[in-house]
Structure 1
């Protein structure tokens, strides 16, 4: 029986969802079946919808992945796996993730197809990662973890399509996209009662909005230890296939999309935040700081107890004086502006065609000629095969405080590429 939104949220936040593993079988024993409610027509419509919007839908997934690192239980498993703690292993791990995801849109979902084999491989890796983490006392890959990871793939795009230039799409397209990810969730072992993608796009949006407010906003305000390291090595690795990535701008944009107080980018955002600060001040002096904790919901699970962060009204008189934005290097500010311009251009027919063609060409290079990675990792090591297990590293993650210190400037070639792209 399908749960309504309130019952679904209650079920997802219950202890049972945290204790239930992603699978109860061994990797070699898993079976995958197409669910009874599968609609092939809707599924294939979603595949076409993806390719019609592939550049920005993929961009939203990348930002969602940056957000997923903020979930403490997921981060512990990722660190314990030792398959993405360094720039090189993160490059291989997350390029593999991207290629797996793209394969689901490229191929039919039929037994024996590449898409089918890919989903089985992903499911098996989740099982292995959970078993390994459990042996090390770092938890498991739970049903809740799978559901929150699913948000990383769909949450930002369906909640804030206008931030990606996707607002002109028909509701029926989003219904199909919702169905696609509901099927994918089922295929990788997510029980229907925990699947973020509900019966229709409206329910899914309601679920995602609640999760944004109750999970992602507090988690990205109080990030767990090693979040900065894991997010940055992932972005640094993927820079080799996408030089539009700037580490600081991507983390800023992720927090902005997650409604973390103080992270604003438009005049409307700035004015809205000032109104919220005034509301909390309740007539007191405008020089008093407002604790961000008063502006966000309490998370349904324990988060790190970080020092309070205060917001001062007049710090937000101008966009240029916004503290988190002010700290960004000029290249990061440039990339934020570039992404806003791309989103605006993407609403046009020609803009969408251009950027989609760019993504398709980039995808070809990722698979067959990842030339930028050659210079960092060597030719042979740069090629990623999605059915080959990712390598293990011995790098110890650096604490968040390390990345709060002044960092050395980017290499000249990266600075130049920032200007070009």
Structure 2
């Protein structure tokens, strides 16, 4: 765990990190061990810290999951396994993922505990998915992709805590958070040299910043085929647990947090974007478009093929409301973005945090023991999740991104209904 940041990054960006599977051992030989540097006190503090921010921590991980879907090699595995291509299988897969993580936060990590058995199950599924993908010629579950996935769980919280209402409550909380996810990465098969959670929190933060700027922002700016579909079915499926989960608003906020050019939400963002565009115009006409990729760092990994570049025009960012990325959002998505801002303001207060954590915990309790929305959609039997049962496969053919970019007029009554309903409009 003592490697320099540059060495970790160089290793992750090297093709060897992609060729190397998340596990070299056979499934029948899988045995979990704690790392030598495991600190129980620090690990348990990390668990407590995340439970203290249960509501926003859960939202941040959902946003991170959307970001992970923009990594082409990871998305290829998700699509090829056929276990999250429909809203039903996505519900089963991602609700199971959420419950696995909650088991890590809520239970002591020791042999035989629920969290220990959960980590064994998740790691076993990675081994089986890797084997299946290799047989089909659809890539691999690699060390690099597992490391990138860990970013989805922690990246936005570490880099943008102020935008998520997350703050340190006790001395050492962030260091404990970093240690917790370092241990989780190790338990999921990550070699120390690829683990993005380093011994030093500042190193972890630097690595997360580099991964966002060089990997996530370029990939979200130039989303791979089926990204929109993967995000859509995930949000539709998870809306069976909480009505606020909605595709357009969450994808917009994900790209906003990842600093994708054009995704602005405050006046400060707008001014900074216009300043960048003026600099790149270099005196040319304001009618000249700027390729958004020119505002980004170059991605060091070749994720070909590339899609058509997004072109930004200075005149489109005189107001936030008229910016193309915000303007094309449906009314329901704009409403939920506004609602999120209100809830964040409330969450930044002590009482507000307690109430929203309790509110969200009630939804999770209902989702586990009486998932009435999922029962209505998918049937009573299929509404329940077993942590130790593999999610079902489907034969659903994913839709291309272009299908989701089509903006058909929405009747006014559906616009209003989308503000308060479970958003089940496919």
**Structure 1 counterpart of 2:72:** 72
Q: Could you give the per-residue CA deviations for residues 69-101 of structure 1, whole angstroms, max 9, x where no partner exists?
A: 111111111111111111000000000000000
Runs of 4+ in 1 over 6 A off after TM superposition: 410-414
Kindly report which structure 2 residues correspond to 1:368-379, keeping only aligned pairs within 5 A, or say none.
368-379=369-380
State the shift of 1:237 in Å: 0.3
**Structure 2 counterpart of 1:230:** 230
> C-alpha separation between the residues in 2 aligned to 1:287 and 1:80?
42
Aligned length: 421
**Structure 2 counterpart of 1:380:** 381
> C-alpha separation between the residues in 2 aligned to 1:162 and 1:405?
34
Kindly report which structure 2 residues correspond to 1:135-154, keeping only aligned pairs within 5 A, or say none.
135-154=135-154
**Structure 1 counterpart of 2:391:** 390
CA contact (8 A) 2:332 2:418 kept: no
Quick check: 1:191 aligned with 2:191? yes
State the shift of 1:326 in Å: 0.2
Quick check: 1:320 aligned with 2:297? no
Q: Could you give the per-residue CA deviations for residues 311-353 of structure 1, whole angstroms, max 9, x where no partner exists?
A: 1112111011110100000110011111111111111001100
TM-score, structure 2 normalization: 0.96
Residues 74 and 345 of structure 1, relative CA distance in 2, 3 Å threshold: same
State the shift of 1:288 in Å: 1.4
Kindly report which structure 2 residues correspond to 1:270-281, keeping only aligned pairs within 5 A, or say none.
270-281=270-281
Quick check: 1:331 aligned with 2:335? no
CA contact (8 A) 2:330 2:415 kept: no
Quick check: 1:341 aligned with 2:342? yes
State the shift of 1:267 in Å: 0.6
State the shift of 1:384 in Å: 0.7
State the shift of 1:366 in Å: 1.6
TM-score, structure 1 normalization: 0.97
CA contact (8 A) 1:43 1:180 kept: yes
Q: Could you give the per-residue CA deviations for residues 1-32 of structure 1, whole angstroms, max 9, x where no partner exists?
A: 62111111011101110110000112221111
**Structure 2 counterpart of 1:120:** 120
Give the match's secondary structure for 1:181.
Answer: helix
CA contact (8 A) 1:217 1:258 kept: yes
Quick check: 1:350 aligned with 2:378? no
Give the match's secondary structure for 1:392.
Answer: coil
State the shift of 1:217 in Å: 0.6
Structure 1 unaligned spans of 5+: none
**Structure 2 counterpart of 1:172:** 172
CA contact (8 A) 2:224 2:307 kept: no
**Structure 2 counterpart of 1:362:** 363
Kindly report which structure 2 residues correspond to 1:30-45, keeping only aligned pairs within 5 A, or say none.
30-45=30-45
CA contact (8 A) 2:164 2:344 kept: yes
Residues 157 and 410 of structure 1, relative CA distance in 2, 3 Å threshold: farther
State the shift of 1:203 in Å: 1.0
Residues 89 and 177 of structure 1, relative CA distance in 2, 3 Å threshold: same
State the shift of 1:282 in Å: 1.2
Give the match's secondary structure for 2:321.
Answer: helix
State the shift of 1:301 in Å: 1.7
Q: Could you give the per-residue CA deviations for residues 296-317 of structure 1, whole angstroms, max 9, x where no partner exists?
A: 1111222332222211112111
CA contact (8 A) 2:33 2:187 kept: yes
Give the match's secondary structure for 1:403.
Answer: helix
Q: Could you give the per-residue CA deviations for residues 144-168 of structure 1, whole angstroms, max 9, x where no partner exists?
A: 0000000000000110001111145
> C-alpha separation between the residues in 2 aligned to 1:170 and 1:121?
32
> C-alpha separation between the residues in 2 aligned to 1:411 and 1:88?
27
Residues 412 and 286 of structure 1, relative CA distance in 2, 3 Å threshold: closer
Kindly report which structure 2 residues correspond to 1:2-151, keeping only aligned pairs within 5 A, or say none.
2-151=2-151
State the shift of 1:413 in Å: 8.0
State the shift of 1:406 in Å: 2.6
Structure 2 unaligned spans of 5+: none
**Structure 2 counterpart of 1:182:** 182
Kindly report which structure 2 residues correspond to 1:207-226, keeping only aligned pairs within 5 A, or say none.
207-226=207-226
State the shift of 1:289 in Å: 1.2
CA contact (8 A) 1:21 1:142 kept: yes
Residues 385 and 396 of structure 1, relative CA distance in 2, 3 Å threshold: same
State the shift of 1:270 in Å: 0.6
> C-alpha separation between the residues in 2 aligned to 1:415 and 1:357?
27
Residues 414 and 355 of structure 1, relative CA distance in 2, 3 Å threshold: farther
Bigger mean CA offset, 303-312 vs 331-340: 303-312
> C-alpha separation between the residues in 2 aligned to 1:51 and 1:305?
40
